[in-house]
Amino acid sequence: MFELKKKLAAFAAVTALAVGLPVTAGAQDQIKVGILSHDTGPFAQNGQGFHRGIEVYQALHGKSAGGREIEFVYRDIGGPNPAVGKRLAEELIVREKVQILGGFALSSEALAVGPIVEQTKTPAITFIASSPSVLAGSQYFLKSGQHIAQSSSAGATFARKQGAEKCYIVVSDYQPGYDAQKAFRKTFESEGGQIVGEVRVPLNTVDFAAIVEGIASTETDCINVFVPPGAPAIGLLRALAERGLVESNFVVGMGEAEDHILPQYDDSVVGFKGALYYAEALDNEENKTFIAKLKELYGPDTQPDFASASAYDGAHLIYEMVKSQEGKDWSGPDAVEAVKGLSWNGVRGPMKIDPETRELVQNIYLREVQKVDGKLQNAIVDQLEAVEAPSKEWMEN
Partner 1 sequence: MEQFLASLAFIILYGGTYGAVLFIISVGLVMTMGLMRVPNLAHGAFAALGGYLTILLMNQAGANYFVAVPVAVILVAALGALAERTIYVRLYNIPELDQILLTVGIAFIFVGGLALTFGPNVFTIRLPEVLSGSVDLFGRSFPVYRVFLLAVGALIILGFWLVFDRTTLGAKLRAAVDNRSMAQATGINVERIVMLAFAAGTGLAALGGAIGAGLFPLEPLYPIKYLTIILIIVALSGFGNIKSSIVVAMVVGIADTAARYYLPELGGFAIYALVIAAVAMRPAGMFARQG
Which residues here bind partner 1, judged by CB under 8 A? 40-42, 44-45, 48, 173, 199-202, 204-207, 209-211, 213-214, 217, 230-231, 234-235, 238, 242, 261, 264-266
Find the shortest distance in angstroms from Cβ 364 to partner 1.
25
Q: How far apart are CA 114 and CA 136, in angstroms?
A: 8
Q: How far is the CB of 215 from partner 1 (least distance, A)?
A: 10
Nearest CB to partner 1, comparing residues 44 and 270: 44
| Nearest approach, Cβ of residue 28 and partner 1 (Å) | 36
Nearer to partner 1, 31 or 262 (CB): 262
Query: What is the Cβ-side half-sphere exposure of residue 119, based on CA atoms within 13 angstroms?
Result: 15
We find the least distance from the C-beta atom of residue 345 to partner 1, in angstroms, to be 30
Q: From the CB of 42, what's the least distance to partner 1, in Å?
A: 6
Residue 205 or 391 with smaller CB distance to partner 1 = 205
| Least distance between partner 1 and beta carbon 193 (Å) | 22
CB of 214 to partner 1, least distance (A): 6
Closest CB to partner 1 among 35 and 387?
A: 35
Three-state SS sequence of the chain: CHHHHHHHHHHHHHHHHHCCCCCCCCCCCEEEEEEEECCCCCCHHHHHHHHHHHHHHHHHHCCEECCEEEEEEEEECCCCCHHHHHHHHHHHHHCCCCCEEEECCCHHHHHHHHHHHHHHCCCEEECCCCCCCCHHHCCCEEECCCCHHHHHHHHHHHHHHCCCCEEEEEEECCHHHHHHHHHHHHHHHHCCCEEEEEEEECCCCCCCHHHHHHHHCCCCCEEEEECCCCHHHHHHHHHHHHCCHHHHCEEEECCCCCHHHHHHCCHHHCCCEEEECCCCCCCCHHHHHHHHHHHHHHCCCCCCCHHHHHHHHHHHHHHHHHHHCCCCCCCHHHHHHHHCCCEEEECCEEEEECCCCCCEEEEEEEEEEEEECCEEEEEEEEEEEEECCCCHHHHHC
Judged by CB, which is closer to partner 1: 213, or 296?
A: 213
Measured from the CB of residue 79, what is the shortest distance to partner 1 in angstroms? 9
CB of 246 to partner 1, least distance (A): 14
Q: Give 352's strand partners.
A: 343, 361
Residue number with CB closer to partner 1 (27 or 203):
203
Say how far residue 19 (Cα) sits from the centre of its chain.
Answer: 28
Nearest to partner 1 of 209, 292 (CB atom): 209
Nearer to partner 1, 183 or 241 (CB): 241
274 in Cβ contact with 380 (< 8 Å): no
Q: Which is nearer to partner 1, 166 or 200 (CB)?
A: 200
